[in-house]
């Protein structure tokens, strides 16, 4: 049955395109129905969680384009791109402190952006104007700052001492010299 649905999805998409265009006079929404073709290949596969995880960037683009062109909701629709890292964390089943910082900052950004128009602080209105979304994205700069300060990467240059640097440079030079001699 799955194979039959995938095989007929181009015809179903064209049908929905024509119905949306001719009956509802919404051609943009109709064009977005063509995105059902690759989406059906993903959702009707044997290993759905793995396929969704592998194709989450494409799925989010499809959903965003469908919201933007079909319903003229590009502004709140960009939030679907947060599904990419979220699906990775869910699929892998691991969340470390660095990822948790990203999730918390993102949640704070969305929460403040949604609740901002209801703000009772006149000084906030004076600073940001009528929307928090534009200057609010600066909050994402806190992610690398917090992660670098409190959860540094063990492979970063911070953990190299002088002998490590010397050994790495010597190894690099010797391997390049050996490669040149082989030529």
Place of tokens 């391997």: 175
Q: Is 65 left (phi over 0), alpha (psi -120 to 50) or beta?
A: alpha
| 10-residue stretch averages of pLDDT, the chain, 183 residues long | 89 95 90 86 82 86 86 84 85 82 86 67 61 77 86 60 67 69 61
Residues in the chain: 183
The predicted pLDDT at position 28 comes to: 84
The predicted pLDDT at position 181 comes to: 64
- The count of other CB atoms within 10 Å of the CB of residue 57 is 12
The predicted pLDDT at position 122 comes to: 60
- Asked if 116 and 106 count as a contact pair (C-beta separation under 8 A), the reply is no
The predicted pLDDT at position 19 comes to: 95
Q: Full-prediction pTM beyond 0.85?
A: no
């Amino acid at each position: 049955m799955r194979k039959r649905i995938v095989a007929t999805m181009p015809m179903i998409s064209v049908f929905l395109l024509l119905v949306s265009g001719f009956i509802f006079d919404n051609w943009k929404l109709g064009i977005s129905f063509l995105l059902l073709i690759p989406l059906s290949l993903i959702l009707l596969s044997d290993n759905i969680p793995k396929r969704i995880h592998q194709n989450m960037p494409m799925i989010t683009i499809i959903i965003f384009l469908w919201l933007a062109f079909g319903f003229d909701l590009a502004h709140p629709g960009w939030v679907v791109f947060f599904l990419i890292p979220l699906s990775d964390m869910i699929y892998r089943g691991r969340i470390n402190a660095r990822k948790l910082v990203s999730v918390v900052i993102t949640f704070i950004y969305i929460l403040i952006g949604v609740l901002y128009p209801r703000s009772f602080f006149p000084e906030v209105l004076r600073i940001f104007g009528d929307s928090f979304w534009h200057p609010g994205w600066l909050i994402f700069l806190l992610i690398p700052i917090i992660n670098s300060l409190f959860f540094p990467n063990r492979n970063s240059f911070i953990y190299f001492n002088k002998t490590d640097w010397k050994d790495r440079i010597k190894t690099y030079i010797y391997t390049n010299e050996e490669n040149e001699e082989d030529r």
